[in-house]
A and B are shown apart, each in its own frame.
Chain A
Amino acid sequence: MSRQGFFRSARLALMAGGLATGIFASVPAGAQDADTIKIGAPLALTGGLADEGKKQDIVWKMWVEKVNDAGGLQVGDKKMKVELIEYDYQSEGQRAAQLAEKLITDDKVQFLFAPFGSGHTKIVAGVGERYQVPTIACVASSESVFDQSFSHLFGTLSPNGGMTTAMVKFFKQKFPDTKTIAVLGRDDVFPKSMAEGIAKAAEDGGLKVVYKELYPVGTMDHAAALSSIKAAKPDWIYVTGYTQDLILARKQMQDLGVTAPIVTMVTGPSYKEFTEGLGPLANGVTSSSWWHYATSYKGQGVWPTTADFYSDFKAKTGGDPDYVHGSCAAAGEVIADALKRAGTLDKAKVRDAIAATDIQTFYGPIKFGPNGMNLVRELPIIQVQDEAIKVLAPADIKNADMIAMPK
């Protein structure tokens, strides 16, 4: 065989082999262990939502490790180990649905953890509903996700409505001169509902909304919107979006000299990336969050108190947990508690047990309303002071007084 000929055949063999492996490896591995509880999680480990996906990944692994070290979860009279099966759906909704179906039919998971964000939660919950597999969503807070009468979807975040009214009330009390508000929101499920929510709450609270616009996903320049806001001279500027949008908006506000006594960015300071990215510019920005590690809740589960969770998390990652970490770790406790009460893996019984959840955890109380969403509770209002997150309210966990936005 000539040298060239050899290479040609080698290449062909390589390619044919590659394709064949592709085709055969997709045949499912059948045997499953009857003594494990399987939880499936389609995660955005790459793509636009990768940062958030990795947060879910890390706390779920921590939780599973902790549970299994303690012997597993109590189901009836025996303890069962937990297995977490994760796939990367690359921040693509279509793939999320496909992987959810794979988890249910191929890996035979008994529970699903929904991925980050309201939109993808909807997609995964749709698949879960079809197969009647309970789906726990830990990072979807928009009521529009829970309004489709899905009976197998449960969310550990409280409705965002709870965030807006309390905030208007609190700010009016701290800064009685606040009369006007400008709202700039990202046109995406959660940020949009927050923008609409705050505008409504502000009007109900006697404020005047002098500016309210939505910017499309992927906007790289807020200059035009910010200039209009500057002209309206509001007492309070409220911007919604995800970390990158808000870092950009804050920097452009600085460049254009747009400011107000109160500047709120949601979710901004809830994520440490926001303060890290902005440095001193982040000072004075207020926000609301669903959970903060400064809270001191006590309850059941592998982490009896918030402090226990915090120290474990700190030891594992070296960083501070945010609400995504807290809420997702608590999602595991919902399953643990439901299995203990149901005493069986029977689908319908487990679902009913989840629906009847009423527990205290390190993350706070979890009790699902009729739509499957955690009930409203008092949520922390936070502010960046000296590049660190301080809690302003509620009063029992507050560790700083509110300051005006530095000029």
Chain B
Amino acid sequence: MKPLAQYAAIIVGLVLLGTTPLYADNYILRTAATVAMYGALATSWNFIGGFTGYPSFSTAAFFGLGAYVGTICQRNGIPMGVAWTIATVSVAAFAALLGGIILRLRGHYFAIGSIAIVELCRLIVSSWSDLTGGGDGLNVPLIHASPDAVTRLFLFVMLGILAASLVVTIIVDRSRLGFGLRCIHQNEDAAAMVGINTTAYKIAAYTLSAVFCATVGAAYASWTGYIDPTDSFQIVMTVKVAVMAILGGAGTVVGPALGAAAFVLLEEVFWANFIDWNRAILGVVIVLLIFFLPGGLLSLRARLRRASGGAA
């Protein structure tokens, strides 16, 4: 995709989601916010999973930690925005430290290690009852405003995070860092040989993949008003985000967000209309998409062009 087309696609997408309050009800707004939320998560995953080619499954760990740090700050009287910032910074620092250890693993071993992080975080959070309330979970002070205002606020917050993650993606994509990460993806040893500091690059990618997840987690906690270890550290979420990114096109700029949008909308439709069969249908759709479109939804354009004899 050419840069100009990329920017246009991003702006159209954000405007499309951002204008929903003008005509739609709160349910549509919430769906739009969910699209933005998963869009930000999938775009984050793209740094490590897409550019670098390291199959990370730590998304839910960063999301959950963000939610807990944000909530604990808010419960101690720190204003919402500041709490989100603290959550973001501290989880990023945690990811950088963790990255230094876990990125020594490669391939399947890394994938398993990164899943273990989610479980580990869940166990620690649920055992540390004094701080986290353990299995009881924590209540976040509810925002006292009309439901319309609350939904709108969180739609814009999620959109803001999505936009930020996309901007960072564009910067990385066009910078030396993005180039280096792609080299690591193709051949890590060769990349090291031509003078790329692979460890530092990988840690940077891993940290970037955590930053926005933490902000999303903290914002989500303020939105729902209640978090507990089981819902905050969900393996399902971690897998879902990776599927979304692959669905849209891993390693591209707009692909992951597009994949998230498609996935959330499909989910929404099947859940609402096929109460007994939703999981089966969704599974079939994912299998079909990955089977017929291994390059993700973005490769649809190239295919269309070829199908119509290159005229488009």
Least distance between B64 CB and chain A CB atoms (Å): 12
Taken residue by residue from 20 to 49, chain A's Cβ proximity to chain B (1 for < 8 Å, 0 otherwise) reads as: 011101101000000000000000011000
**Structural contact, A119 and B276, CB atoms closer than 8 A:** no
Interface SS of B by simple majority: helix
Known contacts A15-B289, A26-B265: does B135 contact A192 (CB below 8 Å)? yes
**Structural contact, A94 and B230, CB atoms closer than 8 A:** no
Interface presence of A3 (CB below 8 A): no
Bound-state CA distance A87–B126 (Å) is: 29
Interface presence of A228 (CB below 8 A): no
Closest residue of chain B to A187 (Cβ to Cβ) is B135
Q: What's the interface size class on A, roughly? A: 35 or more
Known contacts A15-B289, A187-B134: does B142 contact A93 (CB below 8 Å)? no
Interface presence of B137 (CB below 8 A): yes
Interface presence of B269 (CB below 8 A): yes
Least distance between A21 CB and chain B CB atoms (Å): 7
For the complex, count residues of B whose C-beta is within 8 A of A.
52
Least distance between A121 CB and chain B CB atoms (Å): 10
Bound-state CA distance A198–B290 (Å) is: 52
Interface SS of A by simple majority: helix
**Chain A residues numbered 273-296 whose CB sits less than 8 Å from any CB in chain B:** none
**Structural contact, A94 and B220, CB atoms closer than 8 A:** yes
**Structural contact, A28 and B28, CB atoms closer than 8 A:** yes
Chain A residues near B127: list those with CB within 8 A: 187, 216
Interface presence of B229 (CB below 8 A): yes
Interface presence of A319 (CB below 8 A): no
Bound-state CA distance A400–B307 (Å) is: 77
**Structural contact, A19 and B225, CB atoms closer than 8 A:** no
Known contacts A189-B228, A217-B126: does B147 contact A131 (CB below 8 Å)? yes
Bound-state CA distance A186–B27 (Å) is: 35
Interface centre among B34, B136, B225, B236 (most CB of A within 10 A): B136
With beta carbons under 8 angstroms apart, the residue of A21, A87, A92 that contacts B234 is: A92
**Structural contact, B276 and A216, CB atoms closer than 8 A:** no
Bound-state CA distance A185–B127 (Å) is: 12
The stretch of A95-103, A176-184, A299-307 in contact with B is A95-103
Least distance between B195 CB and chain A CB atoms (Å): 43
Interface presence of B293 (CB below 8 A): yes
Chain A residues near B278: list those with CB within 8 A: 46, 88
Taken residue by residue from 236 to 272, chain B's Cβ proximity to chain A (1 for < 8 Å, 0 otherwise) reads as: 1000000000000000000000000010011011011
Chain A residues near B136: list those with CB within 8 A: 142, 144, 189, 192-193
Closest residue of chain A to B229 (Cβ to Cβ) is A217
Interface presence of B171 (CB below 8 A): no
**Structural contact, B147 and A130, CB atoms closer than 8 A:** yes
Bound-state CA distance A130–B142 (Å) is: 9
Known contacts A8-B303, A15-B300, A94-B220: does B230 contact A217 (CB below 8 Å)? yes
Known contacts A8-B307, A45-B275: does B269 contact A26 (CB below 8 Å)? yes
Interface presence of A311 (CB below 8 A): no
**Structural contact, A12 and B269, CB atoms closer than 8 A:** no
Bound-state CA distance A37–B127 (Å) is: 44
Least distance between A15 CB and chain B CB atoms (Å): 7
Closest residue of chain B to A123 (Cβ to Cβ) is B226
**Structural contact, B269 and A126, CB atoms closer than 8 A:** no
Interface presence of B93 (CB below 8 A): no
Chain B residues near A9: list those with CB within 8 A: 307
Closest residue of chain B to A129 (Cβ to Cβ) is B142
Interface presence of A358 (CB below 8 A): no
Bound-state CA distance A100–B103 (Å) is: 40
With beta carbons under 8 angstroms apart, the residue of B25, B135, B307 that contacts A106 is: B25
22 sample A-B contacts, Cβ–Cβ < 8 Å, listed by A number: A8-B303, A8-B307, A45-B276, A90-B279, A92-B234, A93-B231, A94-B220, A95-B271, A101-B27, A102-B30, A102-B272, A105-B25, A119-B226, A123-B224, A123-B231, A126-B142, A126-B224, A129-B142, A131-B147, A192-B135, A217-B135, A217-B230
13 more A-B residue pairs beyond the given contacts A101-B27, A101-B151, with a C-beta to C-beta distance below 8 A:
A12-B307, A18-B266, A19-B265, A21-B269, A92-B231, A104-B27, A122-B139, A126-B225, A130-B147, A187-B129, A187-B134, A192-B135, A217-B230
Hey, which bits of chain B sit against chain A, CB under 8 A?
25-28, 30-31, 34, 123, 126-127, 129, 134-137, 139, 142, 147, 150-151, 220, 224-226, 228-231, 234, 236, 262, 265-266, 268-269, 271-273, 275-276, 278-279, 285, 288-289, 292-293, 300, 303-304, 306-307
Hey, which bits of chain A sit against chain B, CB under 8 A?
5, 8-9, 11-12, 15-16, 18-19, 21-23, 25-26, 28, 45-46, 86-88, 90, 92-95, 97-99, 101-102, 104-106, 119, 122-123, 126, 129-131, 142, 144, 148, 186-189, 191-193, 214, 216-217
